[in-house]
Amino acid sequence: MKVIIRPNASSATELTARIIAKDLRANPKLVLGLATGRTMESVYALLADMHRGNGLDFSLCRTFNLDEYVGLAADDPNSYRFFMNNMLFSRVNVDLRNTLLPNGMAADLEAEGRAYEDAIIRTGGIDLQVLGIGENGHIGFNEPLSPLSSRTRAITLTPTTLNQNAGLFAGGKASMPRRAMTMGIGTILDSRRCLLLAMGASKAQVIAQAIEGPVRSMIPASALQLHQNCVIILDQDAAAGLKAADDYKMIFENDPEWKEFRK
Ligand code: F6R
């Protein structure tokens, strides 16, 4: 695991977008795993700028989103399909047929989970999985106690997640779906590279548990400690609970891998 702490949210966001763009330029057929949520909005805005201003090309890339609410159709403004179309897909030259999210409207959610896993395998697997983190440590919608080997499936959302996301629903918590489809932790760990972005004081405690605490299913993001190639990008506020923050900063300043990103 590599931990990069940036002085503020905008430099954390910018670094995340630059890493994604570099991978996409190196491999135009990149299979990109994507997240939704407030954290990602600014990342996608920057990627859209890079497409418009610098010709960042999404035409050959394929995308798999982490999750989708059960029971929300693609045209529902609260669905993650709607979010992705609005925040990224309509602003870049990706082929919409190459953008997949779990279908939260599927009649058979178990079969949908299996089909999603198969679709990922058919592309050759996810090259770069972008992640946010919930206040309870979820990645995707893998809520606490999700098996570390879990695959794409339907899960029931916890009260913490309902509270975290209620503000995004016009009708508040009462109008939110109680269930979602999510890639599993095992699915995420199969990605060749993971890139998690967390910003703000509300994530500080769980970030410290995920990075410096034990690997345990109560903190699903702690499973990323098992990944061979995982980068965590934080702003100063989200890094506030880390005991070894100074060490991570020093490593970033000296690691040749990050030379071009230190500018
Ligand atoms: C959503 C997802 C979630 C979010 C997390 C953080 O697709 O994967 O794990 O990344 O809930 O959400 P925000 O960014 O709104 O704090």
Q: Is 41 exposed, middle or buried (0-12, 13-18, 19+ CB in 10 A)?
A: middle
For 14-57, how does the pLDDT look when each residue is reduced to its tens digit (9 = 90+)?
A: 999 999 999 999 999 999 999 999 999 999 999 999 999 999 99
Does the beta carbon of 112 sit less than 6 angstroms from any atom of ligand 1?
A: no
Whether residue 190 is predicted with pLDDT greater than 80 in this model: the reply is yes
Ligand 1: centre distance to CA 49 (Å): 22
Nearest CA owner, ligand 1 atom 12: 37
Model confidence, pTM: 0.98
Token duo for residue 99: 């953008």
H or E stretch including 46? Answer: helix 38-54
Q: Is 246 exposed, middle or buried (0-12, 13-18, 19+ CB in 10 A)?
A: exposed
Task: Kindly report the length of the chain.
Answer: 263
| pLDDT tier for residue 195 given thresholds of 50, 70 and 90 | very high
Nearest CA owner, ligand 1 atom 2: 140
Ligand 1: centre distance to CA 254 (Å): 31
Q: Among all residues, which ones are annotated catalytic?
A: 67, 136, 138, 143
